[in-house]
A and B are shown apart, each in its own frame.
Chain A
Amino acid sequence: MKNKTSLFLHALLYIFPGALIILTFHFIPVFYAFYVSFFQGRFGREVFVGFQNYRILFQDPDFWNSLKNTTYYVIGTVPTTIILSLCIAMLLNSKIKGLSIYRTIYFLPVITSINAVAIVWKWLFHNQYGLFNSWLEYFGMARIDWLGDPKFAMFSIILMSIWKGLGYNIIIFLAGLQGIPKHLYESADIDGAGLWHKFRHITVPMISPVTFFVLIMSTISSFQVFAQVYMMTQGGPNKSTSVIVYHLYDKAFQKFDMGSSSAIAFVLFIIILIMTIIQRKVAEKKVHYAN
């Protein structure tokens, strides 16, 4: 029998190249960001400043504003996307013809690049010549300056993001719904249960692990929204769409302030970590896992 070290070294031969990449670029940098966040100044001339970057960050109204905007975005997209996609997935799951065609169509926005569709939506939202406003006008309603009015800009980005992300969640929910054993519904039919009753007492509990998964994944990705904002509003008007990652991008790559942008990156990491832990705790109580 070979000794443990040689087994380990042999396995390392296969794992090392890939693990090196993952650890260097996708794991260690979190800690590195934490380290860099204690310094100030440009490349090569950094000075240790302790918690100064965090102190400045927490007193920076722009940071709190970006946090507020991100929260608005997350609350605006996540629940709506989950409810809408569950409804559509249930419609698709009702033994109808053309399932694969519908599925393909609903999934189309997911695969296309956010940049291309952001340009299209920017055009749809255009204040003067955009289609949405010409519809509003046609029905005798007042125009809305979708992307130019601080009251509406984030709402418009949310609308577009729901459209973009819906198909992904539909596919996941559909897979979950198809996994629910048919006999549960059949025995409920024998008991004479109505549609609502079946939804409430079979579909909801059986689908809860999937819902939980979708909730975590969409929360994590919504907190990191960037491309829509970059393409459609550049954080404006009046900073009303400046989200955390946009704020981070601005600090790091427009103003090259690596210390304070590392602090933002680390805070973003912590926020998402806390969100995930909370959701996990809640899920332990509420999610129904079969077996």
Chain B
Amino acid sequence: MFKSKNTKENIMKIIIHTLLIAGAVSMLFPFFWMISTSFKTPSEILTYPTKLLPDSLHWRNYTHAWKNPNVNFARYFSNTIFVAGITTLGQLFLSSLAAYAFAFFNFPWKDRIFMLLLATMMIPQQALLVPDYIILHKLRILDTYFALIIPWICSAFSIFLLRQFFMSIPKELFEAATIDGASKIKFYYKILLPLSVPPLLTAGMFTFLGSWNSFIWPLIVTSSPELRVIQVGLAQYMQAEGTNWGPLMAASTFCTIPLIAGYFFVQKRFIQGIATTGMKD
């Protein structure tokens, strides 16, 4: 009797794994296809019946995309890293400052101000594009790095995430330190920030990824080719290249791989962060 229960369980396990593997294959397949096509020669790409793998690794698509005179992926990469890096640092700094005040200080209207900031998370970003564009125009910073960075150097989400963590730090620690004569700002950078490395990393990761993958924002607020970030560059490249699929797949591959590589390093923290906060860019 026990044995039959075991076989029944084993059959269940096999069915579950079969379903999950089928799902996993469909998740991975487009990536496989992207990389496989990126190494094919033009004639291999257009043969029928379609070949799953190229006969040999054909690197020409990569050099074609990277050295194309109409695009400058090296420049787009440095722009993206610069913008995402500054945005992330700025956001961690400004959000943690505000979160610190919300978590430790007592002041009038504290909850009301906090709720107001939280409410901004419910506003659909795409509804802000036009008014934000006009505001940036009036500030005369359209088509500059400032336009790419400044609107994103603080977010209600990061404030919320960091405040949640700061609240778990005993208030006595704050009171003891500030009574001791240490000023509030000293507590912030001497005690609070060193204690908060894990949530800062989580918030930083989300910000960096969001900035790296952002598309419609840089598309509308910049127009100079020197300011182009990867996502806009990729879109531009697709329009320029048309149906030249080999180089297009090569460009998609080298724009995707750094992110996937980075993801493998931080995936555990990342998935935990999503599971606890329900973050969505």
Contacts and interface: CB of A to CB of B under 8 A. Distances in A.
Interface in A204-238: 213, 217, 220-221, 223-224, 226-227, 230-231
B34 A120 contact: yes
A107 B271 contact: yes
Interface stretch (B56-64, B128-136, B193-201): B128-136
A57 to B, nearest CB: 13
Contacts of A287: none
Contacts of B70: none
A102 B24 contact: yes
A150 B46 CA distance: 25
B126 A22 contact: no
B128 A265 contact: yes
Contact of A96 (B16, B46, B255, B256): B16
B71 interface: no
Contacts of B225: none
Interface string B126-155: 111111111101000000000000110111
A269 B235 contact: no
B215 A227 contact: yes
* Interface hub of A7, A17, A167, A266 (most chain B Cβ within 10 A): A17
A33 B31 CA distance: 40
B209 A111 contact: yes
B213 A96 contact: no
A163 B274 contact: no
Contact of A226 (B13, B116, B216): B216
B120 A22 contact: yes
Interface in B91-131: 94-95, 97-98, 100-102, 105-110, 113, 116-117, 119-120, 122-131
Interface string B254-281: 0110011001100100110011101010
Contacts of B168: none
B69 interface: no
A22 B130 contact: no
Contacts, number: 265
B83 interface: no
Contacts of A172: 274-275, 278
Contacts of B109: 8
Interface in B200-232: 209, 212-213, 215-216, 219-220, 230-231
Chain A residues touching B, majority SS:
helix
Contact of A129 (B46, B130, B271): B46
A221 B210 CA distance: 14
Contacts of A26: 120, 123, 125, 128, 151, 155-156
A264 to B, nearest CB: 8
A24 interface: yes
Given A15-B101, A167-B27, A25 B16 contact: no
Contact of A114 (B105, B117, B213, B251): B213
12 contacts: A21-B154, A22-B156, A27-B119, A29-B135, A30-B131, A88-B20, A105-B27, A106-B27, A108-B260, A111-B209, A121-B30, A268-B124
Closest 7 CB pairs of A and B: A29-B131, A175-B275, A18-B154, A14-B101, A25-B151, A18-B94, A11-B107
Given A21-B94, A113-B213, 9 more contacts: A10-B184, A17-B154, A29-B135, A36-B134, A96-B13, A106-B23, A113-B234, A252-B133, A269-B127
